[in-house]
Each structure stands twice: as C-alpha cells, then as structure tokens.
Chain A
C-alpha cells in the first residue's frame, strides 16, 4: 500500500511538474485550420497560403456552434516556402496553426505547373497534419475559393468536403487523399489527378448555376445571384506537373477506369421507347495487359456491372428485345465515357492515372525491368481496348 501511495504521489508530482518542460498552447490560442489554399506567384517566386480556420468566438457563444454562420476566419501568409508562408499566416492570425483538423487543400492554378509532390510533401512529412485530406485544384487562385463562405454545416469548409464526397460517390469525379496522390505521383509517369473547383454564380433561391439556367437567356426579371463553388472536371498531372484539363465526362470515365465507381445511372434516349434509365452498381473494372501476335503490348480494360431499370420508359418487363437493346445502348455509353477518358487523359495529357503501369507490373514485371528506359512511351502508346458488360436485374433475379 505504501509503495502504491509513493508511486501515485510520484506520478502526480511528475505529471504536474514535467508539463512545464514543454511549450504548450491553449486550444483557444490555436488556429484550427479547416481548409487551406496554396497559390504560387511566379513573378515574385513566393508561395501564398490562405486558410480558413475555426472561429471560436462566432455568434452562438464560445462553446456552441451556430450552424447558420460560416464559423470560420481567414488568414493569409506569404513566404519563400510553404512552411514560411504558413508561419506568416500564423503570425497574421495571432494563433498557432493546428493542421490536424484540416480536411481540404486547394492548389492554385499556377502552383499546378510546379512539382506537385514537393507541395504535398509538406503536409505528409508534417506529422501533425492529417494525411486524410482531400486535395483539389482551383480554376484560378485557391484564395478566391477560400474567400467564399458557406452557411451550411458546422464550418464553411464542410460544404466543400460534402460536395467532393458526393460527387465522388455519384461517380462524377475521383477524390483522393493527399497520401493517395503521392502514391500516384510515384509511378514512372509521375501522374496524378485533382478535381477542379471553380466559382459559379447561382440564384439565391436555387442551386442551378446561372449560365446553365434561365438567367443566361435573359428577358426575365433580374434575380439576385451569389457566388458558390462547383466541381468542373479535373486537372491531370504528368511528370508531377499539370499536363492538361479534362471535362466532366472524362472525369466520370476516369472513375470507371480507376475501379472507384460505386453506382452510376445511364439514361438512354431511344426513338421509340422514350427515356430509360439503368443504374449500374457493383461496378468492377479490371485492367489486364496482353501481347498481340506482333508481340505488341495492349491493355484490355473490362468493366462488369450489375444494372437495374430505375425508369423503364414504357418498356414492359417481358419485352426482351427492347430491354437488350436499351442495355446495349447503356454499355455503349459507358464505353464511350471510358474511351473519352483514355483519350483525354492518356493520349492528350500523357498521364497514367488509371494504373496501367501497376497492372503491367502486376502481370509482367519482367517486361518493365527489360524496358525500364522507355516504359513511359510504351505505356502511353499501347492500345486500350474497353469492354463493358452489364447484367440487368429485375425483382432480384438476373434477367439479361
């Protein structure tokens, strides 16, 4: 008992006294970063970091979060490196930066032309930051996106994260964490993909972007608009630098190619059957390299999926011929999306985001070893044959 008492006393004394040996920062003195934008200013050769951090004195009291407010403040810093820019941003806010809660990094368009791995390395090598942070590219500057505040969710950045996650789960874009992008950049082509965010103007009472809605046509009453952020395709990297931009269709095709598509709805317009919608689920993509009779490398990209008719468009369940026809059209549409993605990403941007090299290494590692010097050229020129097979289900039974 005596020993236990001494041990407890010692623990208490040590824990009380040793905490003074280390510099500590109160939570209220920390800038809890929620989203972060990095821009590069080539003329001055400096980095500019803008960050949204949690405002602990927002309306609703110090300890309660008012969901009707953005609940974030902004701080900006410039410096020769990302670290010094972040430190300068910390000086401006008067608070110590806490990166462990950061969930979004936006890379400015000019910085995309620089080595992406060097930019992201800061966030991976800094063990206090969170490697599960989404990374996106900005159409222009990252700061203009950080400037926009949303009044939904606990903090403003939550809306952007939800946007990215929803777009990813709906098959519109591939959203990767920082460490996954770093893994992707380590292949021989130095390839990566970032979803592109851009500013759009919306009517205040709707979610339809102005340019695609009634406002574009004019003639009607002037309606108030406000700035919001939307996803618009993505930025492709090759050699660790930006090599091109792809549109939304190619971004969807990429989702199929990289075996990330969870569910995707295809609407087929037919002359006589009106509109039918098939939702694909359990989508699986396999990339298998092979050699043709001339010993030339090719990639067989096959997608298999289960599908269900969400809108039959007037087709009866027993009308086999029409169902098969609609299904074939849906398969063609997905094939076209994937071929478009291969064309835009690999042929135009010289990038291998969908893992051709990984598949080749998995199946023919000796081929990579033998062709180490020109493997990039081989990967970027090998034909890709896309095949899509969809099994439609009805009432839980496989039908066609």
Chain B
C-alpha cells in the first residue's frame, strides 16, 4: 500500500485547490468587492462542517475509508456505493481535464487540438496515479514551493501597482452573488472525494490533512483575492484568468514577464490534481473488487476519461452543462457527505482481533 503522511496529503490538497483557483473557477464567479472575501470564509467553514461525516467515519472505523466499511457490511452494497461515488469522481476528473485543456488553449498554445491536449494531460496524470499517492505528494511539495516563490515574486514586483483605495468597508452588497460564490467555493473542494478514498493510506491522524489544508488554503485564497482587488478594482469582473494577467504584468530583472513560467507551474499543479483523482479511482477499484494491482484498470479508466472529454469537449453546451452541475456542489455533497454519512450508520467495524492481526 502507498502510505503517506497527513502533511503530505495536506500539501497535495493545497496544490489541488490552488489549481482550481487559478485555472478552473469560471471568471464570472471572481468579482471585485468584499463579497468574495466573505464567500471564501463562509465556504471554508461550510466545508469543514461537510467534512464532519468523513472525519467521524475515519475515527469510528479506525482509519478505514467508507468503502472498506461498506464492503465489510455487504460486498454488493459496497460495490453500488463505489459505483455511485465513481460516477461523481469521473465527472469531476473529466471537468478538471477539460478546464486544464481550456486554460492551455486560452493562454499557452492556442492551436492545441482537444485530443492532443487531453490525451497528454491524461497520460501524464495516469503515470502519476500509477506511481501512487506517495510520488504525487512528493511532486506536490515541489510544486507548492515553486508556486509560493512565484506568488511572493508577483507580490514584490507588483507592490507599486497595489491601489488600496479600491478597498471599501462593505461586506455584502449583492446577496445573490454571495450565495453563488459560496456554493461555487464549496464545489471547488473536490479534495474531499480524494480524502474519502485515500484516508486509509495516511500513516498518522487523517483529520490533520483536512485541518492543515483548509487553514492554509483559506489564507492563500484571501491573499490572492486581495491581490486581485488591489490591482484590478472593478475591472476584475471582466477577467477570465486574473492571476495570469497579474503574472504577465510582473517583471523581474531576468524575466520581462512571469506568465509563461507561472503557467507551466499551474499546469503541473493541474496534473497533480488530476493524478490525485485518478489515484482515488484506482484505490476505489482495488478496494471494491479486492484486487492488488490497478495498472490495467487505470489504463481503461484513462481511455474512458479521454472518450468523455472528447464527447463533452466537442460542444460548448455540454461543457457548460457539466460546469454548471459541478459548480452546483450537489455532486460533491452527494459523494463527499451523503455516501459517507450512509456508511457511518450502516458500515461495519473490523472485529478487534482481525484489526490487530492486520496491523501486525
């Protein structure tokens, strides 16, 4: 089994969530004003509450994930739950791959064909998933270090462009937007699905991964949002990738603009996020069918993801519909809260003797 520490998983979660912030949130949900600051805070508190069934589950079943507990009760029941969970996981994966492809074509390589881009993203992410959670989290540590350095560099180089008069002391002006922003912020926490599956791979207390990642992400998101507001003011409402524009404005002595290097780092972060989702799918397969290897499954799952990406990516309406479903937070709540909640009451604990034997 590919074991990782809670801190490693927390770092991977930070990378994953930052990817969503940089690349995947629709531009219309990032608006100038105080609402988004409030939305981030409210959403983080809401996510912490939504995590509760999963956290209780790890405590009740001594580090096992929801699927192990469900299968112990009844294999068919477990397989049905894993299928339902897998559908949500697959839709989130497809959405993430398409978002990353859209980001690449919008900013880096405009002519990149859908099949070339998505196939390459999926292939690299599958390789990461094949190597396991430990390898992905080690890469995430590298990515988050570079990301933090670049963010610091952006702050330093843009210091003279920050206009503090853009801030104003009103917290809620548009209640409707605040509600949509909170829901969208909640839906961006697909790490909850990863945690639901990979919590059994954590060597120490799994709940730490949740606390650490939520706290750090909260601080980083508020800082990045502040940066957006201070640089663009009301023009922020018109931008699709604000941090990309900021990085193209910032220059250091050696580089006239930092957007290219930033985009590459965010691309790496995006692949880490998708790798984590693939790893979770692989673990789901291994646990539900009691298999030891996941290589073939990952290959088939990758092909399935590619086919779905081609189908949904072929028409903007399908893509927008998928985005709408994902950003409604319903799939996340279903897979990350409802299913674990059901298992919390119906799952079966491992008898103490068997648990001791397993640990030995």
Contacts and interface: CB of A to CB of B under 8 A. Distances in A.
Interface of A: 18, 21-23, 100, 121, 124-125, 127-128, 130-132, 177, 179, 182-183, 185-187, 355, 358-359, 361-362, 365-366, 369
B249 A187 contact: no
A124 B239 CA distance: 9
Contacts of B237: 186
Nearest to B167: A362
B235 interface: yes
Determine the main DSSP class of A at the interface with B: helix
B51 to A, nearest CB: 35
16 contacts: A21-B113, A23-B111, A121-B238, A124-B238, A124-B245, A125-B240, A127-B248, A131-B248, A132-B248, A179-B235, A187-B234, A355-B165, A358-B165, A358-B233, A362-B165, A366-B170
Given A127-B244, A359-B165, A186 B249 contact: no
A284 to B, nearest CB: 13
B351 interface: no
Contacts of B28: none
A186 B233 contact: yes
Given A358-B165, A362-B165, A22 B109 contact: yes
Q: Which 5 A-B pairs have the closest CB atoms?
A: A186-B234, A183-B235, A365-B170, A127-B107, A365-B168
A131 B249 contact: yes
A287 B173 CA distance: 24
Contacts of B278: none
A358 B163 CA distance: 11
A182 B238 contact: yes
Contacts of B166: 358
Contact of A22 (B107, B112, B234, B257): B112
B99 to A, nearest CB: 16
Contact of A186 (B109, B110, B173, B238): B238
Contact of B233 (A18, A132, A177, A183): A183
B360 interface: no
A31 B241 CA distance: 27
Contacts of B107: 127
Contacts of A365: 168-170, 173
B245 A179 contact: yes
Nearest to B244: A127
Contacts of A100: 257
A183 B239 CA distance: 11
Contacts of B320: none
Nearest to B251: A132
Interface in B18-75: none
A21 B116 contact: yes
Contacts of A131: 245, 248-249
A362 B249 CA distance: 25
A4 to B, nearest CB: 15
Contacts of B111: 22-23
A111 to B, nearest CB: 20
Contacts of B285: none
B131 to A, nearest CB: 11
Nearest to A18: B120
Contacts of B235: 179, 182-183, 185-186
A183 B245 contact: no
B232 A179 contact: yes
Nearest to B259: A127
B279 to A, nearest CB: 20
A185 B233 CA distance: 11
A127 B106 contact: yes
Interface in B170-203: 170, 173
Contact of A369 (B113, B169, B173): B173
B168 A361 contact: yes
B257 A130 contact: yes
Contacts of A127: 106-107, 241, 244-245, 248, 259
